[in-house]
Amino acid sequence: MTATALFQRSTLLALVCGLLLVSSSAAVRAQEEGWSRLFPGHRVIGNLYAVGTYDLGVFLLASDAGHILINTGLEDSTPLIRRNIESLGFRLEDVKILLTMQAHWDHTGALAQIKALTGAELWATAGDVRVLEDGGLSDPQFGGHELFTPVRVDKVLRDGDLIELGGTRLTVHEHPGHTEGSSSYSMRVREDGRDYNVVIANMGTINPGKKLVGDAATYPGVADDFAKTFRSQKAMDVDVWVAAHGGQYGLHDKYQPGQAYSPETFVDPEGFQAAVERLERLFQRQLLSELSQIVEQ
């Protein structure tokens, strides 16, 4: 790859999750470095473990009957994920179900490899099936060429579906907008006599350059999808939350490597509401701006 091609790829990578407005190649490199830097696997609460990188959220739901793995990081993330899973006393080979939160390659890159290694089934919501199966080729914002290794979806999930494996009972929430099939998952955990509502939330961030309305809309109905997602998330009863990027849920403020486990570490109901409301305000601001430009034309 030429230096120019490398820079273009880096810029695209930096844009894909819309966390930072990146204006220099140094900032791009810093963000990418956070995506691929090893971060110790740790228990979030109950049987939920974070096994991703410094910034990419990858989550293991462990059970005696096998595990569920949500997201996979970049194409080369498999060794880091395996190392984190093994450091917690589990085996990557025991993963039975693969789930995703959004069909963008910083979360789906290693799906095909981990599926082949484990023989696990990939379950996904209808809106993300096409992009998962063509490796991002038909991604309405970033597609046109393959962005990650295509991976076959074995089962289509719907809003409200219950995924059960061993003692794990996980509810599917369709939260589209960021991608057409973006989804969150929730469960209830009991620890020390207290019940915790836990959500693995796909946040409604808008990638730079994404358009919400009119002929330029990234996909038909994208604005309605975002609005529906914010409504749904604001109505959720959340005690503990994590998200697709560590930076979105304050991972590094809440948890330092080596910190002793406590079910309270990631309890943050106000933080969840505030994060959803902040993103909703950004969405409404962009929507108004796009609508006023259409009116002016």
Rounded least distance, CB 264 to Zn ion, Å: 29
The DSSP H or E segment spanning 151 is none
For residues 144 and 199, give the distance between their C-alpha atoms in angstroms, rounded to a whole number. Answer: 33
Nearest to Zn ion of 35, 272 (CB atom): 35
The DSSP H or E segment spanning 32 is helix 25-36
Structure tokens at 67: 């595990």
**Residue 168, phi then psi, degrees to nearest 5:** -85, 130
Rounded least distance, CB 96 to Zn ion, Å: 25
Rounded least distance, CB 16 to Zn ion, Å: 5
Nearest to Zn ion of 14, 17 (CB atom): 17
Part in contact with Zn ion (CB under 5 A); list of ranges 28-36, 102-110, 152-160, 185-193: 102-110
Rounded least distance, CB 178 to Zn ion, Å: 6
Candidates 104, 115, 173, 210: give the one binding Zn ion (CB under 5 A): 104
Calculate ∠ Cα 11-12-14, nearest 5°: 65
Structure tokens at 157: 């999930």
- Three-state DSSP state, 78: helix
Part in contact with Zn ion (CB under 5 A); list of ranges 10-18, 91-99, 125-133, 213-221: 10-18
- Three-state DSSP state, 49: strand
User: 60: closest CA among 165, 146, 208?
Assistant: 165
Nearest to Zn ion of 17, 28 (CB atom): 17
Give the nearest residue (CB) to Zn ion.
104
Q: Is 209 left (phi over 0), alpha (psi -120 to 50) or beta?
A: left
Instruction: Tell me the helices (H) and strands (E) count for the chain, helix number first.
Output: 9, 12
For residues 58 and 85, give the distance between their C-alpha atoms in angstroms, rounded to a whole number. Answer: 10
Nearest to Zn ion of 67, 178 (CB atom): 178
For residues 38 and 148, give the distance between their C-alpha atoms in angstroms, rounded to a whole number. Answer: 21
Candidates 17, 157, 198, 222: give the one binding Zn ion (CB under 5 A): 17
Rounded least distance, CB 244 to Zn ion, Å: 7
For residues 142 and 192, give the distance between their C-alpha atoms in angstroms, rounded to a whole number. Answer: 46
Nearest to Zn ion of 104, 173 (CB atom): 104
Rounded least distance, CB 105 to Zn ion, Å: 9
Rounded least distance, CB 74 to Zn ion, Å: 12
Nearest to Zn ion of 105, 196 (CB atom): 105
Nearest to Zn ion of 104, 115 (CB atom): 104
Part in contact with Zn ion (CB under 5 A); list of ranges 62-70, 97-105, 148-156, 222-230: 97-105
Rounded least distance, CB 174 to Zn ion, Å: 16
Q: Would you count residue 58 as binding Zn ion (CB under 5 A)?
A: no
| Tokens 């290794």 belong to residue | 149
Binding site for Zn ion (CB under 5 A): 17, 102, 104
